[in-house]
Structure 1
Amino acid sequence: MIYKRCPKCGKRIPSGTSCPVCKRSYKAPEGVYKLYHTQRWRNLRDMIIARYNGIDQWALHKYNRIEYAETVHHIIPTVDNMALFFLDDNLIPVSRSSHDEIHRLYKKQKKDIQAELQEILKGNGVGGIRKV
């Protein structure tokens, strides 16, 4: 069984139940968000990060900075095309700050940023560590 911690009191409770102390209820992930909790996703995520030596590709190519990649970004979001969820050609390792920046930029110039990310994946970006 999967457990969560109540953010209010810290009590360990089963996922999808309410905290008996605080009476807060928690919903189990649904829809596309449920896929992020699968072993298949965790394995793919780890593979993508390892492929690029754990380096944030956005920060490396955009700012010539080396940062640790802690998440994997879908270049074409799953809400736009669910078929690309597990496709590794659509995934790029990024840090949390880069991921937030990319999503902010998507609001203004989504197609341009997606094209730039795809160029980074192809290895045509500005110098630095490439995938092995």
Structure 2
Amino acid sequence: MLYKRCSGCWKRIPSNVICKCQMYNARERYKEYNAKRNDKEEQKFYRSKEWVKCKELRQIELLYIDWYEYYTKGNIVQAYTLHHIDELKEYKERALDRSNLIYLTQANHIRVHKEYLKSNKDKNNTKQILFECLKKAKEEFGVG
């Protein structure tokens, strides 16, 4: 069995397992994030049965891999956040469209949203890159 070190507590854990401290940190981050949100309609959507089912299917389809990381840096890493490429607040009709969803690491998710905030040109370029990553994954590996 392969092992890795947790980046939070440095305990030795199996490589296919998420450390308990990381899960706790993720829960705490989400609680903080959720408390600061003021769009109750989006919050309701992310708790819906339809979203949970769509999210689970998409994670399996994408093999829990951050394809953006793979195609931009050549690293195979486990992703943790499902991202709407065309944002939910702008394209509600694409909320459950699996071709609009890409799985990202938390760091890449933050990076993508920072690009979205810079300018419309940067946002569109980033969206194009994300769609291209999904297209390449499908062509090369039959994923998605």
Q: Which stretches of structure 1, 4 residues or more, deviate above 6 A after TM superposition?
A: none
Please say if residues 52 and 129 of structure 1, whose CA atoms lie closer than 8 Å, have aligned partners that are also in contact: no
- Give 1 or 2 for the bigger CA radius of gyration: 1
107, 128, 144: which one aligns with 1:115: 128
| Paired position in structure 2 for 1:30 | 40
Q: Percent identity?
A: 22
**Gaps in structure 2 of 5+ consecutive residues:** 1-34
**Gaps in structure 1 of 5+ consecutive residues:** 1-24
* 3-state SS, counterpart of residue 123 of structure 1: helix
Q: 1:75 to 1:111 in 2, by over 3 A?
A: same
Q: 1:116 to 1:75 in 2, by over 3 A?
A: same
1:33 aligned partner, one-letter code? Q
| Paired position in structure 1 for 2:75 | 65
RMSD: 2.8
TM-score normalised by structure 1 residue count? 0.70
| Paired position in structure 1 for 2:61 | 51
* Count of aligned positions: 107
TM-score normalised by structure 2 residue count? 0.65
* 3-state SS, counterpart of residue 83 of structure 2: strand
Q: 1:16-72: CA deviations, max 9, x gaps?
A: xxxxxxxxx9x9x72122110112111111111111211111111111111111111
Q: Name the one with the larger helix percent.
A: 2
1:93 equivalent in alignment to 2:103: yes
| Paired position in structure 2 for 1:3 | none
Please say if residues 84 and 95 of structure 2, whose CA atoms lie closer than 8 Å, have aligned partners that are also in contact: yes
